[in-house]
Structure 1
Amino acid sequence: MNADKTVTDTLVIGAGQAGIAMSEHLSRLGVPHIVLERDRIAEKWRTGRWDSLVANGPAWHDRFPGMAFDDIGPDEFATKDRVADYFEAYARKFEAPVRTGVDVKQVQRNTRRPGFAIETSAGPFEARRVVVATGAFQQPVIPPVAPKDDGLFQIHSADYRNPRQLPAGAVLVVGAGSSGVQIADELQRAGRQVYLSVGPHDRPPRGYRGLDYCWWLGVLGEWDQEIARPGREHVTIAVSGARGGQTINFRELAHQGITLVGMAKSFEGGVAAFEPDLATNLDRGDANYLAVLDAADAYAERNGLDLPLEPEARRAFPEPDCVKNPILRLDLREAGVTSIIWATGYSNDYSWLKVDTFDAKGKPIHQRGVGKEPGIYFLGLPWLSRRGSSFIWGVWHDARHVADHILIQRRYLAYHDAAMSKSVEAAHA
C-alpha cells in the first residue's frame, strides 16, 4: 500500500468506452490526468456479458472516429471480446494513463481548498476535477416481484453466459429489450422451451432498403434528439446483431417456438401472473417499426435516393396462438420452468461519491455531463446529451464536450493565477 498522495489535474474513474474516450480528449488538449480502473480496460465487455454477444451496431458505426476495426468488415458485428480488444488497442494508440486494478472507494470535496480527495485501494489521490465514467450498467436490478422460491434457478442477464449454465427444463425470460430477446432466442435455438415476458418496447428494423438502421436513425435526426419523448424515457429497444444482424419480430419468434406472455405481475404459490398487455405491447412495437419505415421512405423520396424498394419489410406475420389466447397465469412446475432470467436492466450506485450533485432519488444532476457540483463530471450515461449518448460513438462526442469544458475551466484558473502573481510582484516592487 502506497501511503503517498498522488496528485493530478483530472481523475477519470472507469476505463470502459467512456473513460478511454475521455482520456483521448484530455490528452489531445494537454490536460494532465489519470484513469483508474477497478479491473481491466473494458472489463464489462469481457466478463459482464453472455458468451455469444456481439455489438448491436455494425463495425462502421459502433466505434470511435479515430480508429476502425482492422479485422472485420464494416457491416459485420464485432464480438464482445473483439470490442474489448478494440478499446485496449485504442488506449495504447495514445498511451492512455490508465492504472488498472485500482478500486475507488470514496470521493469528497476538499475543505477550504479546491479539488477532491479520493480514497482508493492503491492509496490516496487528489484531483482538481473528477470525471465519473463508470457507465450505466453498474447494479443489476431484479424487481421485488421475483419469487422467493429456492427451487428456481434465478439470475440476472448480467450473469447469464450460455444455455449450458442453466439446469434442464423450460426457461422464463423476463424483459424483451436487446438482452432479453437475444438470450431467449439463443435458448430456444438450443432446444429449450422458452417463455418470454414482453413489455413496452421499440423495435427498429435491423436494415431497410439496403442500409442499417443506425444509418437511417442518423440521417433522420433520431440520434440527435436531446430529450426523450414523454412516456418513452424507459422504453427498451429490441435490436440485435446476432447471426449477422436480423430485425427482431416477436410474432416471428412465437412461430419459431417461443411462448410470449405479457409483463410479469406477480409470483405466488409457484404460479406466475402476467398482465393482459401482450397484444398492446406488440402493436406499439409494430407501430414504431412501421414509423421508421415510413420516415425512411419519405427521406429517400425527398432526397431522390436510388435505393431498392423492400415491400417484404412490411409483411405481417400471422397472429400466433399465444397472442390470440394469452397466458395470464402459468403454473411454473406444470410448465416445467426451472429457471428465470431477469433481463430487467440496471441501476447506478453513487454511494461512494460524497458530493452535492444528486437529486432526491440519487440521480446525477448535470448539464451535458457537467455536474451541479463544480469539478464533477459524468460520462457514459443514457441521454447524457442526446439519444446517441448510449452508443460508442456518442460517448466519444460527449467526452469531447466535457474535455472542452475542463479546458475552459483550466484557462480561467490560469488567468487567476497569473493575475495573482502579477499582484504579488507589484507589491514587492
Structure 2
Amino acid sequence: MNTVDTVVIGAGHAGLAVSHLLGRAGRDHVVVERGAVAQSWRTRWDSLTLLTPRWMSRLPGWRYRGPGQEGFMPAAELVGHLEAYAASSAAPLALGREVLEVAPAGEGYRVTTTDGTWSARHVVVATGPGSRAVLPPAIHALHPGVRRVPALDYRNPESLPSGAVLVVGASASGVQIADELARSGRRVVLAVGRHTRVPRRYRGMDLSWWLDRSGRLARTIDTVADPVAARRETSLQLVGREPGDPRGTSLGLDTLQDVGVELVGRVRGADGHRIDLADDLPVSVAAAQRQLDDLLDAIDADVDASGLTREVDPADRPEPVRLGPARTSLDLGVEGFGSVVLATGLRPHHPWLRVPVTDLDGTIRQCRGRTPAAGLYVVGQRFQHRRDSATLDGARHDARDVVSHLVAGDTAAVAALEMR
C-alpha cells in the first residue's frame, strides 16, 4: 500500500487546480484518474465547445495566453490546455486507475483503485458536478424499438438511427444538439421545460464579460434565499460561436424555430410509441423571457451607474419567442421517430464513497468544500460556494479554499499559497 498525504480523485480542471496548489504548498499528493487528463471532455459530442471565452480559462498559476481570446475552445483544444497545465506543475498523475472504494482507515482514508491502493490523511473528490444522466421516469415506458440516448452518449447526427429525433430538455445541451440535428437535415421536435434564455452578446460585449464584471458569477451560496433551488438552476441557453459565424452567435428557441425545430411542452408520460406532452410551453417561455428582461435591465442599470460607454442597440435585446399552437401528443411510430435524445441533466454519482456524507441525490454535503468527515473535501460541485464553482474559470476559488483549510497551521505552506 502506498502512503501519501493527499489523494485527489479526478484529473479535470478542478482536480488539477487542487494539485497545483498542493504542489505549491509542498504537500505530497497523487491525482488519481480513471482515464486520461480531462477524460470527460474526450467523450462528449464532436462539435462541443466551451460556453465561456478563452480569456475565462483561468486556473491557479495558469491561463490561456494565445490568440482568439474572445473565441471558444473546442473540446480537443481544452484537453490540450489542461494537459499543458498538468505538465507545467509536474502534477503527480496516476492515470487509467478507476477508484473502487474510499473508506475511513485509522486517522485518514484508504483509497482502493483498479491498480494500487493509497493510505492518505486527506482525500479531495474532484470528479465534477455530475456524471450520471437524470432520466425522466416516463422514458422507461417507451417502445424498445425507439433508441434512448442520454446527451452524455450523443456524438453526432450520424451516430443516431435514421428518422426524426425527439430532444427532451431545452438547456445548453438540448438546444445545441437540436440545432445540430436540424442543420444536418433531421426532423427535430424539442420538448421544452424550465430554461434560461440569454443572448450570446449584449451591448458590444460577450455575456460572460457582463456576468464576470457585475459580480454575478462571484455570488455566494450564503446570499441566496433558496440554496437548493439555486443549485438546480438550468444551464444558460448558449453556444460557443463567434461574431461572423453564419449560424449566428445566439442560440435559443427562436433560432431553433428558424431552422425548422418544432417546439412542444414537457414530456408528461409515455406508453409504447405514444408521448403525452404538457400544454405548458407558453408558461415556460414567458418565465424565461421575464428572467431575460430582468438580467438585461440589471446590466443596463449597471452601465448607467458606472458611466460605461456601451451604446444600446435595439437588436441586442431578443424579442419574445413567437409560438404557434403546440401539440399535446406524439406518436413516434407513425411519425417516423428513430430516437429520443435526453438532455435532462446530470447528477453526482459516487458509489465508491464509503463515507456517510452524501444526500439521496448523490450530492456531497459540504461547506466551502469541507465535508462533515474530517480530511475529506470536494471541489467542483454546482454552486459549491460561488455561482461559478463548477466552471473551468470558477473552480480555482474553491480549490484555494480547500487547500488553505487542508494546510492550515502550516505557516510555510499557507505563505506559499499566497504567492502569485
Partner residue in 1 for 2:30: 34
Shift of 1:334: 2.5
User: Mapping of 1:173-322 within 5 angstroms?
Assistant: 173-227=167-221, 230=226, 231-244=229-242, 246-316=249-319, 319-321=322-324
User: Mapping of 1:77-226 within 5 angstroms?
Assistant: 77-110=72-105, 113-146=106-139, 147-226=141-220
C-alpha distance in structure 1 between counterparts of 2:327 and 2:240, whole Å:
28
**Unaligned runs of at least 5 residues, structure 1:** 413-429
Q: 2:45 aligns with which of 41, 50, 61?
A: 50
C-alpha distance in structure 2 between counterparts of 1:128 and 1:215, whole Å:
40
Shift of 1:358: 2.6
Shift of 1:79: 0.3
User: Mapping of 1:387-426 within 5 angstroms?
Assistant: 387-408=387-408
C-alpha distance in structure 2 between counterparts of 1:130 and 1:273, whole Å:
46
| Structure-1-length-normalised TM-score | 0.89
Runs of 4+ in 1 over 4 A off after TM superposition: 409-412
C-alpha distance in structure 1 between counterparts of 2:225 and 2:265, whole Å:
23
Greater shift, 248-257 or 212-221, is seen at: 248-257
Instruction: Give a deviation string over 1:63-84, Cα, whole Å, max 9, x none.
Output: 3253333544100000001001
Percent sequence identity is: 37
C-alpha distance in structure 2 between counterparts of 1:232 and 1:280, whole Å:
20
Instruction: Give a deviation string over 1:39-96, Cα, whole Å, max 9, x none.
Output: 000011011x100000000101133253333544100000001001100000000101
C-alpha distance in structure 2 between counterparts of 1:411 and 1:351, whole Å:
36
| Structure-2-length-normalised TM-score | 0.91
Report the 3-state secondary structure (helix = DSSP H, G, I; strand = E; otherwise coil) of the residue aligned with 2:232: coil
Read off the aligned partner of 2:342 and give its amino acid letter: W
Read off the aligned partner of 1:213 and give its amino acid letter: L
Greater shift, 296-305 or 269-278, is seen at: 269-278
Change in 2 beyond 3 A, CA 1:272/1:115: same
Read off the aligned partner of 1:243 and give its amino acid letter: R
Contact 2:31 2:94 (C-alpha < 8 Å) held by counterparts: yes
Partner residue in 2 for 1:19: 15
Read off the aligned partner of 2:381 and give its amino acid letter: L
Report the 3-state secondary structure (helix = DSSP H, G, I; strand = E; otherwise coil) of the residue aligned with 1:109: strand
Query: Which of these two proteins has the greater Rg computed from alpha carbons?
Result: 1
Partner residue in 2 for 1:367: 367
Read off the aligned partner of 2:334 and give its amino acid letter: E
Shift of 1:232: 4.8
Instruction: Give a deviation string over 1:2-23, Cα, whole Å, max 9, x none.
Output: xxx1100011011011110110
Contact 1:350 1:362 (C-alpha < 8 Å) held by counterparts: yes
Contact 1:203 1:237 (C-alpha < 8 Å) held by counterparts: no
Contact 1:220 1:295 (C-alpha < 8 Å) held by counterparts: no
Shift of 1:141: 2.4
C-alpha distance in structure 2 between counterparts of 1:310 and 1:58, whole Å:
22
Report the 3-state secondary structure (helix = DSSP H, G, I; strand = E; otherwise coil) of the residue aligned with 1:285: helix
C-alpha distance in structure 1 between counterparts of 2:56 and 2:386, whole Å:
16
Shift of 1:253: 1.6
Contact 1:72 1:78 (C-alpha < 8 Å) held by counterparts: no
Partner residue in 1 for 2:376: 376
Instruction: Give a deviation string over 1:219-252, Cα, whole Å, max 9, x none.
Output: 2221122235534542312333343272233123
Greater shift, 181-190 or 401-410, is seen at: 401-410
Read off the aligned partner of 1:380 and give its amino acid letter: G
Aligned-CA RMSD value: 1.8
Shift of 1:171: 0.4
User: Mapping of 1:348-363 within 5 angstroms?
Assistant: 348-359=348-359, 361-363=361-363
C-alpha distance in structure 2 between counterparts of 1:352 and 1:171, whole Å:
35
Report the 3-state secondary structure (helix = DSSP H, G, I; strand = E; otherwise coil) of the residue aligned with 2:364: coil
Contact 2:54 2:69 (C-alpha < 8 Å) held by counterparts: yes
Read off the aligned partner of 2:294 and give its amino acid letter: A
Q: Provide the aligned length of Structure 1 versus Structure 2.
A: 402
C-alpha distance in structure 1 between counterparts of 2:338 and 2:360, whole Å:
39
Contact 1:57 1:77 (C-alpha < 8 Å) held by counterparts: yes
Read off the aligned partner of 1:356 and give its amino acid letter: P
Read off the aligned partner of 1:334 and give its amino acid letter: V
C-alpha distance in structure 2 between counterparts of 1:229 and 1:56, whole Å:
27
C-alpha distance in structure 2 between counterparts of 1:406 and 1:65, whole Å:
17
Greater shift, 54-63 or 350-359, is seen at: 350-359
C-alpha distance in structure 2 between counterparts of 1:140 and 1:279, whole Å:
27
**Unaligned runs of at least 5 residues, structure 2:** 244-248, 413-420
Change in 2 beyond 3 A, CA 1:409/1:371: farther
Change in 2 beyond 3 A, CA 1:317/1:294: closer
Report the 3-state secondary structure (helix = DSSP H, G, I; strand = E; otherwise coil) of the residue aligned with 1:369: coil
Contact 1:54 1:77 (C-alpha < 8 Å) held by counterparts: yes
Change in 2 beyond 3 A, CA 1:409/1:151: farther
